[in-house]
Amino acid sequence: MKWLLLLLALGPGDVYREFPDAKAMPPEQLAGAIRAENAAGEVSLALLRGKKVEGPVRVYFGASIEGPKGRIVSPRNGAMIKDDPEIRFEAEGDGEVWAYFERLGSAWHRIAPEWKTQWVPDQPQRGIKLQLRVRRADGLWAVARQVDDITLERKKLSVKIFQAGNPGPEALTRATEAAWLVGEEIRPVALDQIGAPPEKGAALLVRFSR
């Protein structure tokens, strides 16, 4: 859900539930809750119990509520990875893998376990983090310990991002492919048809040979 992108970042050890409609949330689901938030920020638990909050909400729980377990098996802290790595994990339930990297600023992005990095810009050394979020059958989520200091190693190619759009032909020397980044959507575009950005705020991703 897009509203999740607006919430405070999740951290290792967080245990939580997500409800699409706060007013429909069963009161017993708040047992052990320590705080809650929606797209506007932190929400009073008293207001939640009183059915005075509308829309999606995320509820966090304290140590009295044990969340599902999980861990990323590989890569490990400090690893060097190549393009399109496989992220292997173990989980007591369904697992979601998230990666923290630079694109338009640094942020967490949900990725597939077979991470396709074709359009991930070149990253600083040790600049990538990985996080596993595990969902148990009863809807309870937990965030496993994250993997830090990962380096995306590239030798024969480079991927750059141009936030102002088309940088002009001189900057595209040795370019092999291009795509517009519109929000989270990737839209491939032929090099000879780049032109103006398709939407306001769109950035241009370009792959170069070395």
CA–CA separation, 204 and 193 (whole Å) = 12
pLDDT at residue number 2: 45
* Cβ burial, residue 148 (10 Å; 0-12/13-18/19+): middle
- pLDDT value at 39 more than 90: no
Number of domains in the chain: 3
Which of these three, 61, 87, 111, is where a domain ends? 61
Model pTM? 0.88
139, 78: one domain: yes
130, 193: one domain: no
49, 10: one domain: yes
CA–CA separation, 59 and 19 (whole Å) = 8
- pLDDT value at 9 more than 60: yes
Average pLDDT over residues 187-207: 95
Q: How many CA atoms lie within 13 A of 186 on its CB side?
A: 14
Please state whether beta strands 147-152 and 80-81 pair in parallel, antiparallel, or not at all (unpaired): parallel
CA–CA separation, 96 and 155 (whole Å) = 29
Which of these three, 61, 80, 112, is where a domain ends? 61
11, 48: one domain: yes
116, 140: one domain: yes
pLDDT at residue number 27: 87
pLDDT at residue number 8: 57
Element (H, E) at 195: none
25, 77: one domain: no
CA–CA separation, 2 and 6 (whole Å) = 8
144, 99: one domain: yes
* Cβ burial, residue 196 (10 Å; 0-12/13-18/19+): exposed
* Cβ burial, residue 1 (10 Å; 0-12/13-18/19+): exposed
Q: Which amino acid is at 124?
A: P
Average pLDDT over residues 45-73: 94
76, 145: one domain: yes
10, 78: one domain: no
- pLDDT value at 40 more than 90: no
93, 140: one domain: yes
Q: How confident is the model at residue 105 (pLDDT cuts 50, 70, 90)?
A: confident
Which of these three, 106, 125, 152, is where a domain ends? 152
- pLDDT value at 7 more than 70: no
Domain of residue 122 covers: 70-152
Helix, strand, coil abundance in the chain, percent, nearest 5: 10, 45, 45
47, 95: one domain: no
87, 142: one domain: yes
What mean pLDDT, rounded, does the chain reach? Answer: 92
